[in-house]
Amino acid sequence: MSAVTSTVNVGRPRAFDMDTALEKALEVFWRKGYDGTSLSDLTEAMGINKPSLYAAFGNKEQLFLKAIELYESRPCSFFLPALEKPTAYQVAEHMLYGAAMNMADSNHPQGCVVVQGALSCSEAAASVKEALINRRVEGEQKLKVRFDQAKTDGDLPPGTDTGVLARYLLTVLQGMAIQANNGACSEQLRQVAHMTLQAFPRAG
């Protein structure tokens, strides 16, 4: 993939670790949003200066998009792994409790950067807003497809509208991101998760 820039060890070596720098950038974008984050915020948090940032990551927008990629592939991310669970109910269960655990985790900013990174934003940020909307909509679509599978598997009632069910679940998850921003703790989010699951359709 990254065959464009040196796989060979030629030239002065980079003095910082790109992955940890990207983690720092993610943390700032997560907490302040795209518009609310300045390059000074980024360089300070990443421990590098601007030319190094531009050389390594392109520009602010590309850095943001790479940070989002990192966010979704982190070990503690819960959305995609939940899709692998054997039944629709367990998929929902893992998503909801995973969100309750993760979104209020005080080891990083609260909520979800895909939700709050560029919800309302300037025209300069319009493209990253679009990118985040796409991520959210694609997640919803993946969940619908998983529920379609569940219907043929027989662990969702035949009459289930999987599109609505997926949208409903994403709505709750996205609402939990706001709740986490409000200061709700994991236990409070778990209660919301529990209540959501009580209404979840199961195989007849």
Partner DNA sequence: AGATATATGTACTTATCGGTAAATAACCCT
Partner DNA sequence: AGGGTTATTTACCGATAAGTACATATATCT
Q: Which residues bind a copy of itself (CB under 8 A)?
A: 30-33, 35-38, 109, 111, 113, 115-117, 119-123, 125, 133, 136-137, 140, 161, 164-165, 167-168, 170-179, 181-184, 188, 191-192, 195-196, 198-199
- With CB under 5 to 8 Å by kind, the binding choice for 102 among a copy of itself, DNA, none is none
66 contacts: CB under 8 Å, gap ≥ 6: 22, 25, 57
C-beta closer to DNA: residue 61 or 148: 61
C-beta closer to a copy of itself: residue 33 or 98: 33
91-109: b (≥16 Cβ within 10 Å) or e: bbbbbbbbbbebbbeeebb
Q: Is 52 in the site for DNA (CB under 7 A)?
A: yes
Q: Would you give the binding string for DNA spanning residues 82-111, x where CB under 7 A is met?
A: ------------------------------
Q: Is 121 in the site for DNA (CB under 7 A)?
A: no
C-beta closer to a copy of itself: residue 46 or 165: 165
Least distance in angstroms from the C-beta of 7 to a copy of itself: 36
- Inter-helix orientation angle 162-182/186-198, to 10°: 160
Q: Is 85 helix (H, G, I), strand (E, B) or coil?
A: coil
Residue 15, exposed/middle/buried by CB under 10 A (0-12, 13-18, 19+)? exposed
